[in-house]
Amino acid sequence: MKRYPCTGHVDLRGFPAYLEGELGASRHNLQAFARELEGRFDAARIVLTNSGSSANLAAAFALREVTDTHRRRAIISGFTFPTTVAALVTAGFEPYVVDTEPGGFGIDPSAAERAMDVDTSVICVTHFLGFSAAVDRLVEVAAPYQAQILQDGCETMDTFVGDRRAHQISGLTTWSFYHPHHLSAYGGGAVIASNERLQRKLESIAHWGRACTCHVPDLPCVAPHGRDHNFWYERPGFNLEMSELNACFGRFQLARFDRDEAVRKQHYGILHEALADLDGVRVWAPPKNTGSPFVFPIALDDPLRVERVCQWLDARGVETRSLMGGAITRQPAYALLRNDGLKECQALSERAFCVGVHQTLPEVDVMAVGRLLREALGC
């Protein structure tokens, strides 16, 4: 076990008593968690799922229903998560991978624009590592083709693009409540729908394909009356619903979100201050007016140094991570995906690695990691 891991243990103090008081009536926590998320993040039409990957799956199938059957091309970023791609493939889309912005982590709007054609029905925008992608510009790219926008916000929840929350700009947005992410429900995810039509599709897809929405407050149910009201299936669906237990823990953690967000930003600032003046080292300034990053990325001018530096850190107990495995086409499962060459994405993949800034890490350990990084990178 690493002395300085990327993620520590979630604080469970007080949860047993909270659980005893809140776990009871069917769907009590599911409905309360959705309502409390809406209040904190101004996110209406939330559909809770059992993982961020399930959220992506439900979103992809909902988009399949609202796009032309002959338009199956989906533009995706070189930096994305495998289950985001798998969801699109499973739903029948054909991914085309485009490059990221020079020196950045988000999909390059210019690259997406060059890749657009009459067969493109979806642009999948990944807010990679919690850094905001230019989804406002991508909405403009999508408009002439009437393409849908799917935002993968699983690595941050409080994402702003300019002065607007990302999920309010367009399309569907997915979140993850996986333990190392910004809000832990010890599993779970969510999809935020931009309109009632998409919300209904998502609820049905996540609940076996049934038409009944009696479980959703303020969403009138359109399932036929009668003995089979709860068992009227209008489409092929899945069992993707979050559990009551996960929803209860998510609520417990949500009460601490603002405190945890401040800690993540503080940790990020400690590492940035420790490394910002080093020659041959690229670090990214703390993002302003948006959520905290998922991790702290570091890029070296000399890619040949990366392996040596990571080995040196590993020997001293510092856990390092690659950029989620780098460009998605580096992975055997996705090596054959069509792409535009991914020049910028590939180059950054080879030069960069990450360390943790999670709220579960003690500040003294983050400061120690900063000193070790400075020693490793300053020589």
Note whether 231 and 211 are within 8 A (CB).
Answer: no
- Choose one of 254, 276, 291: the last residue of a domain: 254
Is residue 313 a part of any domain in this protein? yes
Q: Which is nearest to 130 in space by CA: 291, 354, 322?
A: 291
Residues composing the chain: 379
CATH number, domain of 61, equals: 3.40.640.10
- Summarised one tens digit per residue, pLDDT across range 297-309 is 999 999 999 999 9
181 & 281 share domain? no
- Confidence (pLDDT) at 136: 96
- Summarised one tens digit per residue, pLDDT across range 291-334 is 999 999 999 999 999 999 999 999 999 999 999 999 999 999 99
25 & 167 share domain? yes
Is residue 2 a part of any domain in this protein? no
The position carrying tokens 């969801």 is 87
> CA of 240: how far to CAs of 17, 187, 295, 373, in Å?
28, 12, 28, 41
214 & 362 share domain? no
Note whether 302 and 168 are within 8 A (CB).
Answer: no
Report the C-alpha gap between 212 and 100 in whole angstroms: 41
Report the C-alpha gap between 234 and 207 in whole angstroms: 11
- Confidence (pLDDT) at 69: 85
The number of distinct structural domains making up the chain is: 2
32 & 181 share domain? yes
- Confidence (pLDDT) at 218: 87
- Summarised one tens digit per residue, pLDDT across range 248-295 is 999 999 999 999 999 999 999 999 999 999 999 999 999 999 999 999
Work out the average pLDDT over 327-342. 97
234 & 271 share domain? no
Note whether 152 and 176 are within 8 A (CB).
Answer: no
139 & 161 share domain? yes
Token reading at 171: 């399309």
- Choose one of 237, 254, 271: the last residue of a domain: 254
Report the C-alpha gap between 261 and 13 in whole angstroms: 19
Query: Is the pTM higher than 0.75?
Result: yes
Is residue 4 a part of any domain in this protein? no
User: Does residue 128 surpass a pLDDT of 70?
Assistant: yes
3-state helix, strand, coil in the chain (%, to 5): 40, 15, 40
203 & 139 share domain? yes
CATH number, domain of 358, equals: 3.90.1150.10
User: Does residue 160 surpass a pLDDT of 90?
Assistant: yes
At residue 1 the predicted structure's pLDDT band, cuts being 50, 70 and 90, is: confident
Token reading at 10: 């979630």
At residue 231 the predicted structure's pLDDT band, cuts being 50, 70 and 90, is: very high
217 & 167 share domain? yes
Give φ, ψ of 253 to 5 degrees.
-75, -35
Q: Which is nearest to 100 in space by CA: 75, 120, 121, 67?
A: 75
- Confidence (pLDDT) at 42: 96
User: Does residue 237 surpass a pLDDT of 90?
Assistant: yes
Is residue 6 a part of any domain in this protein? no
- Confidence (pLDDT) at 379: 65
Report the C-alpha gap between 261 and 265 in whole angstroms: 6
Is residue 86 a part of any domain in this protein? yes
Long-range contacts of 166-172 (CB under 8 A, 24+ apart): 166/127, 166/132, 166/135, 167/41, 167/43, 167/192, 168/42, 168/43, 169/135, 169/136, 169/139, 170/135, 170/139, 170/142, 170/194, 172/59, 172/62, 172/63, 172/148, 172/198, 172/202
Compute the Cα dihedral for 134, 60, 197, 68 and give only its sign: positive
250 & 261 share domain? no
- Choose one of 224, 254, 284: the last residue of a domain: 254
Domain span at residue 225?
Answer: 15-254
Is residue 9 a part of any domain in this protein? no
Is residue 8 a part of any domain in this protein? no
Note whether 165 and 159 are within 8 A (CB).
Answer: yes
Note whether 266 and 48 are within 8 A (CB).
Answer: no
Is residue 5 a part of any domain in this protein? no
In the chain, which residue ranges form alpha helices assigned H by DSSP? 15-22, 28-41, 52-66, 82-90, 109-115, 135-142, 196-206, 244-254, 257-275, 304-315, 343-351, 363-377
The position carrying tokens 């935002």 is 151
Token reading at 306: 């990366």
User: Does residue 24 surpass a pLDDT of 90?
Assistant: no
32 & 178 share domain? yes
235 & 346 share domain? no
> CA of 225: how far to CAs of 95, 101, 214, 230, 233, in Å?
41, 52, 12, 9, 13
- Summarised one tens digit per residue, pLDDT across range 62-104 is 999 999 888 999 999 999 999 999 999 999 999 999 999 999 9
At residue 25 the predicted structure's pLDDT band, cuts being 50, 70 and 90, is: confident
266 & 287 share domain? yes
